[in-house]
Amino acid sequence: MYAADWLGKRAELTPNQLALIDELGCRRLTYMDLQQRAETLASFLHHELGVRAGDRLVMMAGNRLEHLDLLFAAQKLSTIFVPLNVRLSAPEIELMLTDCQPKLMFYEDELFETLVKVRNLANLQFVRLAGKAGIGTAEEHRRLGKWDYEQILGHAFQEFTRPKRSLESVWLILYTGGTTGFPKGAVLSQGMVTWNAINTAVSWQLSSADISPVFTPFFHTGGLNVLATPLLHLGGTLILNGPFQPRLALESISRERASLVFMVPTMFQMMSQEANFATADLSSVRFCISGGAPCPSSIYEAYWAKGLVFKQGYGLTEAGPNCFSLHSDDVQRKIGSIGKPVFHSEVKLVDAEGREVAANKVGELLIQGNHLASGYWQNPAATAETFRNDWLYTGDLACRDEEGYYSIVGRKKELIISGGENIYPAEIEAVLNSHPGVTEAAVIGVAHDKWGEVPKAFLVLKSENSLTKEEVIQYCRRHLASYKVPKEVEFRSVLPRSVAGKLLKRELS
């Protein structure tokens, strides 16, 4: 048997243990506090809104307590939690809503102006999360949806039907970029999230005494599954800080005596550049772990200079973000390595013909274990391509040294990682190619001091057109999230192609 209701079990075992330090709401909540909130929400959703097992519940908000309420209410009701990226444009939101067909959307005021531009909302109910004042009038919000979150939590609890759950029950859909230009919804089961939590606790030596801030967004696997769900499963403590601000992050880590810190390299870099970084008391931190993008050696050195353990992690939405473990004793000896596979997992490296490669040879990284996603939501073709014979084909290239330590050396896919955000060139190219003045478009990632990589667009224009770089960027801003908009634009008379007509992106820079 297993715990199908994590909060219910935690409230039974450790009701008074501190679960969450909510710096946004200036409150500290125990596991019993979280349990009562999730129970009230689940009761209301079931009785008042008719939510039933299998329904999709969308959240569009920055990191806040309500994410955890809905995550665990969904588990209790056997519904599916779908957190969406708050930086998406209205057309991108439309694509995802069409794909997952949710019954209900929770949104905060800051997203109001984007949501009113979304077209396919007819069958969707809304719950408003209070946010920044002055964005949309009360009447406008009522037209979008009549429910306010705080009113819901004020309702009396009524017992509700608790569907039977199995390890195969779907708990989450997390959207990840698609190489075809359409995002894919990775289906995360109860078992997948549970095994990621177990692997993380066992392989990273976590304990219920650990305290960790959540700086990365909950709509990414990094926000939910690097440390949040593993620590909540284990009975540890999370800190919610709101939008990342390096000075405040540094102060919070010191003040709350955080023991584990996960961020993307850009965040670590920004924090290390704070004036008080050198003198900040970070003695409580057992280790810092960077993920989401390759980490420059200068960032390692800045944290090592403070006597901190700083290392690189590796994972992906489809396998949980914590697929490897590097012991603290090895971080400087094996700089840049992601370590060895976590406890309940198998990996191998294969060449283009599927044959395993020898030590110090590069191959595609394949992963196997109970911590894999179930596939992609309503996308059997993409599922069959990525999940083959019980192995996940990551598309990432890696090598293994003689001691069994792995390092990521490149990407088979054309993924651009900018400040921890995954960007697929095909999605940007589809927008560029939709412009009436563009004949051809190609997008690559180019190095950037702050963000690691940023998109650069190469365009061939129709002869009668004379677009400017500024006009191209403005066009992209209307159709794409800001982080996907090309930061550089270059016009070419022709794009390089092979004899067979294949675009040669390696010749673009």
- Chain-centroid distance of CA 405 in Å reads 25
For 267, the 3-state DSSP assignment is helix
Query: What is the tens place of the pLDDT at every residue in 206-249?
Result: 999 999 999 999 999 999 999 999 999 999 999 999 899 999 99
Task: Report the C-alpha gap between 80 and 18 in whole angstroms.
Answer: 26
Residue spans of alpha helices (H) in 101-245 = 112-115, 138-144, 149-153, 190-204, 221-225, 228-234
98-107, 182-191, 316-325, 489-498, range with the lowest pLDDT = 489-498
Q: Is the dihedral of CA 427, 215, 297, 200 positive or negative?
A: negative
Per-residue pLDDT for 465 more than 80? no
pTM: 0.85
**pLDDT of amino acid 98:** 92
Per-residue pLDDT for 73 more than 70? yes
For 263, the 3-state DSSP assignment is strand
Interior CA angle at 395 toward 392 and 400, to 5°? Answer: 85
Per-residue pLDDT for 139 more than 60? yes
Q: How far is CA 218 from CA 60, 185, 232, 415, 430, in A?
A: 10, 15, 14, 21, 27
Q: Is the dihedral of CA 239, 240, 244, 250 positive or negative?
A: negative
Burial class (CB in 10 A: 0-12, 13-18, 19+), 168: exposed
Burial class (CB in 10 A: 0-12, 13-18, 19+), 503: middle
**pLDDT of amino acid 133:** 62
120-124, 315-319, 421-425, 502-506, range with the lowest pLDDT = 502-506
128-137, 218-227, 391-400, 458-467, range with the lowest pLDDT = 128-137
80-94, 332-346, 408-422, range with the lowest pLDDT = 408-422
**pLDDT of amino acid 56:** 98
**pLDDT of amino acid 376:** 97
**pLDDT of amino acid 230:** 98
Task: Report the C-alpha gap between 430 and 475 in whole angstroms.
Answer: 12
Question: E strand or H helix at 440, and its extent?
Answer: strand 438-448
Architecture of domain 416-507 in this structure = 2-Layer Sandwich (3.30)
Q: Is residue 307 very low, low, confident or very high in pLDDT (cuts 50, 70, 90)?
A: very high
Beta sheet of 211-214, edge-to-edge order: 27-30, 18-22, 237-240, 211-214
When pLDDT is averaged across residues 127-134 and rounded to a whole number, the result is 76
Query: What is the tens place of the pLDDT at every residue in 12-51?
Result: 999 999 999 999 899 999 999 999 999 999 999 999 999 9
Arithmetic mean of pLDDT over the chain = 91
**pLDDT of amino acid 453:** 92
Query: What is the tens place of the pLDDT at every residue in 402-433?
Result: 999 999 886 676 778 899 887 877 788 888 98
Query: What is the tens place of the pLDDT at every residue in 259-276?
Result: 999 999 889 989 999 999
Q: One-letter amino acid identity for 24?
A: L
Query: What is the tens place of the pLDDT at every residue in 145-173?
Result: 678 898 899 999 999 999 999 999 999 99
Residues 6+ apart with CB under 8 A from 464: none
Fold of 6-17+27-165: Rossmann fold (3.40.50)
When pLDDT is averaged across residues 362-383 and rounded to a whole number, the result is 96
**pLDDT of amino acid 500:** 39
**pLDDT of amino acid 84:** 95
Per-residue pLDDT for 10 more than 70? yes
**pLDDT of amino acid 180:** 45
Please state, for a pLDDT cut of 90, what percent of the chain lies above it.
Answer: 72
Report the largest interatomic distance among the alpha carbons of the chain, rounded to a whole angstrom.
71
Q: Is residue 181 very low, low, confident or very high in pLDDT (cuts 50, 70, 90)?
A: low
| Residue spans per domain, the chain | 6-17+27-165, 416-507
